[in-house]
Structure 1
């Protein structure tokens, strides 16, 4: 199994540039094979082989991850099916401590001899690593849970839904967009099932079944005379749910001056029809005048700003410089946390880390170190109060236990500190989107995520979106284009003046948060309600020719 093989989904026309490079791990299988079940008792036997072999070679700690990673991709363009792929990656990763140092090895050969050899190799690697060790690994205490299980609370397994039903949906979405005036459309349904088994010398045997789904599309409309074009991407959020996510109910729809938005579930067909109309409106929209504006940011947009300016800088390994070579460092250095008074944002800003939020991409019962997951404060009333840490980092913060945010994207990858679901908590006073807008004299309402840029310390940034609406004297007066806002993280979050209440709280997120060398991806969600920021610098991104 060559998990680092990649299939890059591409298309023709401007929309192709918007398609993500989606990694395809493992070997191709049939849809029926994806529904086969592996008995946890068999995984326990394999785990015990690894645990015993590592102990016999001198490991003082061992954990074992048996992973079966299933992916399904259904890809269409206009009236054609471009690709249907089902993949499976199945193997075992073994991590040990010996002579105070980490060692790791993995194999997809799951007979007892091969597993034992992999465990022995992990110990050998640890002993060699120990030659360069400055101080031994210090793990936070962790109790064993015995034999336990956790399953995502989905209603309908996406892998059980016939492929034809998925194809019919995507082609109907494409047809609706084309009839609505779009020139090109790519639509994709991406489903994930992670079947993960964890065992350790702490005494845990943890079986987990995790599901995620992401329906999305990319629409382009071209002005035939000028050759200029506009795009509109889906307003869906990748989510930790089953196929029920695509069955939106009336209560899942939020009607705003900009159109229909979605909470909890998603109507892909309705969004495509709306997108085709809106991309036409973008063609006629006026270009923004640069200057200071009050911004009203929808959760479908704000999630990405939270991810980059709140999620990444509070990862402790970045703060400590462990990621400096690849993904940068952080402006939120330890001295700011130690002061207990670093003013990250206004008093409206309360940001939490949560590995348990139902429907989120990062929701699991236990992390990849066998730590039971939970929720904790990162920013409290605008003040930095904590970071995100794992077992061998906890002592640096004086914690008695890991915060449970360790993750590996595959059985063949070593687990390390990854981002929890980082979310901006909703306001406590009843406040609607309409209320936010009516309180703005000169502003812009932004919906959907777009391009962005941020420095290596996650401090200075620039963000764009999908849809921009001009606000004058408390009313939306029309659509804008060529909009991006610039700020630094501390300045931006201190300009936060109002957050809608829980009734507007929604999740956005990413399937492909990249980090580490060799690179890994993780799936993570970020929640918020519609939020207002005052006097933010807006620039015009149009190319002057």
Structure 2
């Protein structure tokens, strides 16, 4: 299978957001190529060329991003390795302000003359853009940090693990699933290493090393008599960790009807149980539509948070900059200005965080050289803030950016992207079992599934992977054909319970698309299990 075919196939199965990046994965590199990083002294020397040339041509501000991006994807099906992708992309992006306007240019020719010419082009573009400007760019002030670095706190670099070992792990998971009754299984392992160097005319020289990993699979079980089938996707979360993520700790296991761990993942156990559960879904009772209390596991709730909280609190979406592609937001500025907009119940506390260890969005500095932190978006159910970058901060009256700038490649201009956005755990001691005890008629949902949400991130529908019926405080059996519908405000106001910190876990998106041309980013969303009262549930079964 060629890389282009792989991108098409996995894009269809795992999200079309990966497709536009086909030309940006870079060049193929040998599978046994050793992991290394470019010397920071070399990167600083090249960055200074760009900074000096841009200033000489009239730029009042310049930032430079030198990026080396490694991508490795291992794809298997049953007892075969279908494809292995191992690529490197290396280049420089230069962004400037001249005559009050932005300009950007990039190149993969990493010699000083080419970099100088690219800086000249960025300034020329800015000056042309300025002719159409209605008001100049207003950048929030940002001090220079000098020469600093940040590295993801990984224990085992996944790029140092032989590809053969990774493939064998996936094939072992496949074998476990097939032995447990699966008819088909596709399994994947996605690895990303972003080696990012940022320099700016503010006086920052920042070197960062970012790692991400996502092992996942899809299992299919078929009823030979009826020809009907059911699937069960992996309950793994993509994370900002090294290969240690795939070395589970028994002490982290979460009690419940499926295989879940606090911070790590057992793909063999999940594949074996997933095959059984896909079979159970074949004989599960089809849900009766109506109002139910929902107990939502973090492996499911992360996606609802992402779509109904993360995206609508992006300030560029609020301002309408995303209207042409993915819609705007119902969280308009007047709601924030009122300081009393009731987003959810008083139990709903949602925080943005770019520092959380192990999360996909964790970095020391964003792609504008802003040191990262965390802040409240929803406090005691009230909308209190958004997500901003340097040229947006003045709109909210902020003195500094919140560090939400990101570009998925050296060849793309950076723009506002979502930080980790998470529901905070309940303050009262409570386990998922404690929440279930309070439910007379409900459904416990595990894992993410298909979803739909309108262009303002208000009306939505979400499915899942596993559904369990709750009666009189007890789980009584499995259900299928379940999806729930609500609008964002009524849903979060229906939150009547959140488990405590001991149940807190991360989910997330490895390929979250935004912008035109589209870029992808990776972002985590944490929560503990939560209870939502009186939510409308529909039956999704189709009669043929």
The answer to whether the superposition gives a TM-score over 0.5 is yes
State the Cα deviation string for residues 323-369 of structure 1 (Å, max 9, x = none). 10111100000000000000000000000000000000000000000
The whole-number CA distance in structure 1 between the counterparts of 2:12 and 2:431 is 35
Aligned-pair CA distance for 1:149: 0.2
Which residue does 1:361 correspond to in 2? 360
TM-score for the superposition, normalised by structure 1: 0.97
Which residue does 2:480 correspond to in 1? 481
Q: Matches of residues 194-205 of structure 1 in structure 2 within 5 Å? A: 194-205=194-205
> What's the secondary structure of 1:254's corresponding residue?
coil
Which residue does 1:140 correspond to in 2? 140
Aligned-pair CA distance for 1:167: 1.1
Aligned-pair CA distance for 1:7: 3.7
Question: Any conservation in 1 of the 2:32–2:162 contact (CA below 8 Å)?
Answer: no
Aligned-pair CA distance for 1:435: 0.5
> What's the secondary structure of 1:33's corresponding residue?
coil
Question: Any conservation in 1 of the 2:37–2:195 contact (CA below 8 Å)?
Answer: no
> What's the secondary structure of 2:255's corresponding residue?
strand
Aligned-pair CA distance for 1:84: 1.0
The whole-number CA distance in structure 2 between the counterparts of 1:306 and 1:408 is 22
Question: Any conservation in 2 of the 1:19–1:218 contact (CA below 8 Å)?
Answer: no
Which residue does 1:247 correspond to in 2? 247
Show structure 2 runs of 5+ residues with no match. Answer: none
Question: Any conservation in 2 of the 1:348–1:382 contact (CA below 8 Å)?
Answer: yes
Which residue does 1:104 correspond to in 2? 104
Deviates more, 1:89-98 or 1:260-269: 260-269
Would you say 1:347 and 2:356 are equivalent positions? no
The whole-number CA distance in structure 1 between the counterparts of 2:8 and 2:100 is 44
Q: Matches of residues 141-180 of structure 1 in structure 2 within 5 Å? A: 141-180=141-180
Aligned-pair CA distance for 1:37: 2.6
Aligned-pair CA distance for 1:163: 1.0
Which residue does 1:458 correspond to in 2? 457
Which residue does 2:83 correspond to in 1? 83
The whole-number CA distance in structure 2 between the counterparts of 1:34 and 1:332 is 47
Question: Any conservation in 2 of the 1:18–1:218 contact (CA below 8 Å)?
Answer: no
Which residue does 1:497 correspond to in 2? 496
Which residue does 1:119 correspond to in 2? 119
Q: Matches of residues 381-396 of structure 1 in structure 2 within 5 Å? A: 381-396=380-395
Aligned-pair CA distance for 1:20: 3.8
Aligned-pair CA distance for 1:9: 5.5
State the Cα deviation string for residues 368-407 of structure 1 (Å, max 9, x = none). 0000000000000000000000000000000000000000
Would you say 1:190 and 2:176 are equivalent positions? no
Which residue does 1:532 correspond to in 2? 531
Show structure 1 runs of 5+ residues with no match. Answer: none
Q: 1:349 to 1:329 in 2, by over 3 A?
A: same
The whole-number CA distance in structure 1 between the counterparts of 2:398 and 2:477 is 51
The whole-number CA distance in structure 1 between the counterparts of 2:14 and 2:200 is 40
Aligned-pair CA distance for 1:19: 3.9
Which residue does 2:410 correspond to in 1? 411
Q: 1:512 to 1:255 in 2, by over 3 A?
A: same
The whole-number CA distance in structure 1 between the counterparts of 2:14 and 2:114 is 40
Aligned length: 537
Q: What stretches of structure 1 move > 2 A for 4+ residues in a row?
A: 4-11, 16-24, 31-34
TM-score for the superposition, normalised by structure 2: 0.97
Which residue does 2:65 correspond to in 1? 65
Which residue does 1:208 correspond to in 2? 208
The whole-number CA distance in structure 2 between the counterparts of 1:480 and 1:264 is 28
The whole-number CA distance in structure 1 between the counterparts of 2:105 and 2:152 is 28
Q: 1:19 to 1:415 in 2, by over 3 A?
A: closer
RMSD: 1.2
> What's the secondary structure of 2:273's corresponding residue?
helix
Question: Any conservation in 2 of the 1:186–1:217 contact (CA below 8 Å)?
Answer: yes
State the Cα deviation string for residues 189-235 of structure 1 (Å, max 9, x = none). 11110000000000000000000000000000111121111000000
The whole-number CA distance in structure 2 between the counterparts of 1:146 and 1:31 is 36
Question: Any conservation in 1 of the 2:15–2:511 contact (CA below 8 Å)?
Answer: no
The whole-number CA distance in structure 1 between the counterparts of 2:146 and 2:14 is 43
